Structure 1
């Protein structure tokens, strides 16, 4: 009886899983800790509520603070984002839920060409896969060594010619999704006579040679007795507003986005920072919302060193946006946008 490739991995496969575990533990778990559970949402809402503004944000607070709701988090203007949610169940349930979430995203992902090649796991240099150099999906990694390990493994799910999903179970449940770059007619579905790589129809194939790139990886982190947080890292190939149905509100010129978080089907928060120019910030938001047909239901008011305003969308759109900013302690300003959908307004 053949051994299960997931319970009896090759030494190379186990080493790869260990490397991913190290990357996660030393780097990305710190981000997960920041956003897991209710921490980020609750802290923002507490800060937001330290004045006498109306208290109509509680429903949004519930959606942002509910760990059972899927959340999408984007760090700055990075070409990747984190989607997280919490579940209750044993390890097998966590594996099943992680697999289902990855499968859904892989089926619906829309690769976007990008000249920026941001590698995951320390690999940032793309390698030609044929006589023509492929332009990888934004956020994807070529990583020949990484792809070679996957090529020797059997995917748990796949759509030939499009994507494959691999799982690791040596530590926390983890998964890696790879996808083929768009319509790559220059790449063979099967290798030339005598070539070492196998057909794309084979579960085991030379993924790099066939034009695949790692575009997603996921992990299930235990957070308690039969409690797990599922985190999926993937390219940000669409604005957060597109992903959630929320309005995409710009930030003032000269500012930088530091963190964005949305509850799928619920509210969203955008944190940003920039130079100490409060009058320009207020004028920018007033002008932008006026052009969109929004009305200021709470005109700009100052509480201490902080500024606050609220805008409501036209009735046929619904929803509201609250803006707050104040000194960041470093000579600039830090701001927050709270975007509330129609049903929570």
Structure 2
């Protein structure tokens, strides 16, 4: 399995552009580890996780468990963001330490296969928004381009007509989808540590369901589980959706070097301390894709360097507000579904990179 931290400078056409930026980032010391930051972050997230479950057991059989379910969903999403940083080896230098911590955070604590997600995310980083190679834009349920609309069948074709309106409701199922996909991944011989991953997933499910049904009667337990998983899915979806959705879609005809492939398909989201923490630093998506092993707190410091460098090269650097990022993504989804609503086949998408990005 390819390491998710690998920064393949890609095509060597104009490869010196990335090398020049990399030198500036290294000289600024922005790739150095931040152990103090991660010690505080891991400690805080761990305390919130323990506090949430302590409150759950203390409250007991009560509808006051509703806000606890929402709170724990937010904490689960924050743990997923920590697992993301572990996969990129932003926290620990060694692969083994990162993997052990990732298995605990992913498989045991939130029930998501660390190895499966890491493989999927590695392929995304290598080819963001590439119709043939990025699993995050695979047209299994949603479609992301007119070419995918033309080829869509079954549920994707049905949902594609109105996917912009169905996007957020569908996110309520994303938490469940992550759990199901994690167990399905255990059938793959290529999955590292399959036995360990499977054991930790089973322990998570047994402890999670056992705790909920031991404290709550069946009706309240089902409401708790449904709300917890729904909010978890929506939170994760709202964290990742602003980054690439609605940005240019690439095909095999697009030949871009590493820097342009990452910058032109990514979108940054403006915001202060609240947005930075709510999105786990992924609002600096351009910087993250260029330097995936860069610790989260350094992304903000890297932004002005990267933006100025892109301006020097004449490479478009897109940054927008959080709500506008969602609006851009939804407009794009509605546009690619237009041919399906009209009951006709779509015309071939424009070959020019940038056709999918709504204007600011």
Q: TM-score range, shorter-chain basis? A: under 0.3
**Which structure has the larger Rg?**
1
Higher-RCO chain (CA-CA 8 Å, sequence separation at least 6): 2
**Which structure has the highest strand share of the two?**
1
**Which structure has the highest helix share of the two?**
2
Normalising by structure 2, we get a TM-score of 0.26
